[in-house]
C-alpha cells in the first residue's frame, strides 16, 4: 500500500471514530437522563464503598436492562427453588453494590469530565513526569492516564477476589515501611524516553515521589517495582562450597546455621551456605510510542495488534490514542544482585551478567531436556566469584516461559520431538510446526532493566544467545567478554538443544557443530527411562 493510500485510510478511520464519538456522546446523554429509572432501589453495602445516588461510580458505568430475549428465556426456564432464588437475588444485589451503574466499555478523549493526569515520559523531575494511573476506582477513573491493570497477569486474581467478596475494591494500601532497603537512585537513562520503555523507572519510589497525588489528591497510584534483600539457598551452591569451588567469605556467602534432628538436638550434618543478595521485582509498564519505535513498527499497528490478539480485551487501545501508557497482562522480571548494588553504576568495578528467561521445568523441577538450570546455577556461581573479587554480579530473571510461547506449547513440542525422532537437525523445526515461530522472546525490550540499574558496561556475560548480546550492545552497553556454560555441565539429553543452537549460529567457546553433524545428535527416548 502506498503512503498516499495509507494516509487516506487513516483519515477515513479517524473520521469514523469522530462520528462514533458524537453518536456515543448522544447516547450517553440519553442514558444519564434516564439514570433515575435504571438505578437499583437497594444494594448490599460494602465497607468503604460509596454508592449514594449521583456518585462518580454511577456517573461513569452502564447498567444494561434485560433484553426481550433474556426475558423470554427466563419465562421458559425451569422454576427456581426458594433457596436458589434467594441465592440468585443475593448475587444480583452484590453485583449491583459492586458495580451500581452502567458498564463503561470504553471512553473517548473529549467525553465530559475525562481529563487524564498529565504524564511526560522521560522527564527528569517526577513531579513533571507524573504518576502512572490505571485505576478505575471512582477517585481516579476520570484521571486515568494508563490502560490495563497493575500486577500483570495476576490482575485477574484481584478481580476474582473482588467478585468473591474477599477484597474490598476500595482498599487503600498502607505503604509505610515498604521503602527500598537499598538505593536504586535515578540514572541518566531514566530521563531518556528511548532508553526505558517497558516499565516505570520511578516504580519503586511511587509512595515517596507521588505522595501528594496519593494523600492529598486521593488518586489510586501504586508501585510497580519493589526492592528488598534476601538470602538465597541452593543445594548446588551448597555442593560447590563443600568442594571448595565457592568460598565462604561472611559477606557474599554465609555459612548456614546448623539444622536440627528429629529429636530436637543440633544436627552435625553439613549445613551448607547462603548467598546474601539484593533483589527487585519489576512489573511491565509500556510506553507505547517507545515500544513501537523499539520494534520498528507504527504505534497504530502496535495498538491494533494488542487489541486484536487479546480478544478485544482493551478497546481503549483503539479509542484512546491520547493515552500512551499500557500495563500489559504479562509476567514480570526479577533482578538478583550479588555484592554491593552501588557498583552496578560504577564503571571501574567488574560486572558479571546473566539474563535468564524462565524455564519452570528445569529451573524448579530439574528437567534435563534443556540446559536452563545448569546455566542459571553456573551464572550465580560466576556472579558470586565476581562479587568476591570486588565487583558485582547481576542475574535478571524474565517470565518468558518456553521462549515466551508458554509451557503448554513447550510440552507439545516435547511430545513431537520424542515421537518424531529427537535429533538436533529437527530441533527448531519442531517448535515452528506447532507455534509457527521458533522464538517469541524478542529481546529488544530486555536492556531496559540494565539502564534502570545504571549499568554502562558488562565485563562478563554468561550466555550463548546472540539475540541477548546484540540487544544489549545495540542499546549502548558494551560487553567486554561473553562465555557459555562449560561442556561438563551440559546434561546429556540437552545436547540436542545445544548442538542445534551452535549450528544455528549461537555463540560457543567449545566445539563447533555443522548442519551435517546435527543428525548424529539424538535425544533420549521415552522408553529409555521410566516416566
Catalytic machinery residues: 439, 441
Consecutive H or E run containing 395: strand 392-398
Determine how β-strand 325-327 pairs with β-strand 146-148.
parallel
> Which cell is 408 given?
503448554
String of DSSP letters for 99-128 = S-SB------TTSTT--PPP--TT-SSHHH
Q: Maximum Cα–Cα distance for the chain, whole Å?
A: 83
Q: Are 450 and 471 in contact (CB under 8 A)?
A: no
Q: Are 256 and 272 in contact (CB under 8 A)?
A: yes
C-alpha triplet 251, 255, 260: angle, nearest 5°:
150
Determine how β-strand 273-282 pairs with β-strand 325-327.
unpaired
Query: Residues of 404-438 as b/e, b for ≥16 C-beta within 10 angstroms?
Result: bbeeebbebbbebbbeeebbbbbbbebbeeebeee
Q: Are 190 and 287 in contact (CB under 8 A)?
A: no
Please compute, for residue 271, the number of CA atoms within 13 A of its CA located in the half-sphere on the CB side. Answer: 15
DSSP secondary-structure letter at 131? -
For residue 19, give every residue at least 6 positions away whose Cβ sits within 8 Å of its Cβ, in sequence order, or none: none
Amino acid at each position: 500500500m502506498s503512503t498516499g493510500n495509507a494516509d487516506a485510510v487513516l483519515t477515513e478511520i479517524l473520521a469514523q471514530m469522530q462520528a462514533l464519538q458524537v453518536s456515543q456522546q448522544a447516547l450517553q446523554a440519553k442514558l444519564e437522563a434516564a439514570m433515575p429509572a435504571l438505578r437499583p432501589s437497594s444494594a448490599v453495602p460494602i465497607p468503604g464503598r460509596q454508592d449514594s445516588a449521583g456518585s462518580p461510580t454511577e456517573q461513569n458505568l452502564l447498567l444494561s436492562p434485560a433484553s426481550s430475549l433474556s426475558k423470554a428465556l427466563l419465562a421458559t426456564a425451569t422454576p427456581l427453588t426458594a433457596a436458589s432464588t434467594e441465592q440468585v437475588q443475593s448475587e444480583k444485589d452484590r453485583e449491583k453494590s459492586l458495580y451500581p451503574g452502567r458498564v463503561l466499555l470504553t471512553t473517548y478523549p473529549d467525553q465530559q469530565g475525562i481529563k487524564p493526569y498529565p504524564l511526560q515520559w522521560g522527564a527528569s523531575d517526577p513531579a513533571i513526569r507524573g504518576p502512572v494511573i490505571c485505576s478505575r476506582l471512582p477517585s481516579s477513573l476520570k484521571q486515568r492516564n494508563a490502560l490495563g491493570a497493575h500486577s500483570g497477569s495476576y490482575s485477574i486474581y484481584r478481580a476474582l477476589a473482588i467478585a468473591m467478596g474477599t477484597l474490598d475494591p476500595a482498599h487503600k494500601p498502607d505503604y509505610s515501611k515498604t521503602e527500598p532497603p537499598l538505593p536504586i537512585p535515578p540514572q541518566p537513562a531514566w530521563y531518556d524516553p528511548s532508553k526505558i520503555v517497558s516499565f516505570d523507572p520511578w516504580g519503586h519510589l511511587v509512595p515517596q515521589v507521588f505522595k501528594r497525588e496519593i494523600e492529598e489528591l486521593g488518586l489510586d497510584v501504586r508501585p510497580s517495582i519493589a526492592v528488598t534483600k534476601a538470602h538465597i539457598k541452593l543445594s548446588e551452591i551448597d555442593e560447590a562450597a563443600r568442594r571448595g569451588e565457592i568460598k565462604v567469605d561472611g559477606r557474599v556467602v554465609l555459612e548456614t546455621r546448623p539444622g536440627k534432628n528429629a529429636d530436637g538436638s543440633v544436627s552435625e550434618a553439613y549445613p551448607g551456605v547462603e548467598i546474601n543478595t539484593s533483589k527487585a521485582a519489576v512489573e511491565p509498564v509500556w510506553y507505547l510510542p517507545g515500544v513501537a519505535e523499539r520494534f520498528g513498527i507504527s504505534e497504530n499497528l502496535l495498538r491494533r495488534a494488542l487489541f486484536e490478539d487479546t480478544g478485544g480485551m482493551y478497546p481503549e487501545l483503539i479509542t484512546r490514542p491520547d493515552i500512551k501508557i499500557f500495563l500489559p497482562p504479562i509476567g514480570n522480571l526479577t533482578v538478583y544482585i550479588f555484592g554491593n548494588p552501588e557498583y552496578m553504576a560504577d564503571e571501574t568495578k567488574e560486572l558479571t551478567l546473566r539474563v535468564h528467561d524462565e524455564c519452570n521445568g528445569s529451573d524448579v523441577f530439574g528437567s534435563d531436556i534443556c540446559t536452563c538450570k545448569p546455566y542459571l546455577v553456573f551464572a550465580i556461581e560466576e556472579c558470586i566469584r565476581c562479587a568476591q573479587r570486588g565487583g558485582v554480579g547481576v542475574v535478571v530473571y524474565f517470565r518468558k516461559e518456553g521462549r515466551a510461547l508458554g509451557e503448554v506449547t513447550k510440552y507439545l513440542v516435547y511430545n513431537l520431538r520424542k515421537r518424531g525422532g529427537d535429533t538436533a537437525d529437527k530441533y527448531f523445526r519442531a517448535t515452528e510446526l506447532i507455534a509457527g515461530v521458533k522464538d517469541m522472546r524478542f529481546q529488544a525490550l530486555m536492556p531496559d532493566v540494565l539502564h534502570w540499574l545504571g549499568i554502562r558496561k558488562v565485563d562478563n556475560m554468561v550466555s550463548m544467545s546472540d539475540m541477548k548480546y546484540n540487544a544489549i550492545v545495540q542499546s549502548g552497553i558494551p560487553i567486554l567478554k561473553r562465555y557459555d556454560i562449560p561442556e561438563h555441565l551440559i546434561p546429556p539429553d540437552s545436547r540436542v538443544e545445544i548442538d542445534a543452537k551452535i549450528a544455528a549460529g549461537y555463540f560457543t567457546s567449545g566445539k563447533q557443530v555443522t548442519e551435517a553433524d546435527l543428525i548424529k545428535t539424538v535425544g533420549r527416548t521415552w522408553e529409555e527411562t521410566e516416566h
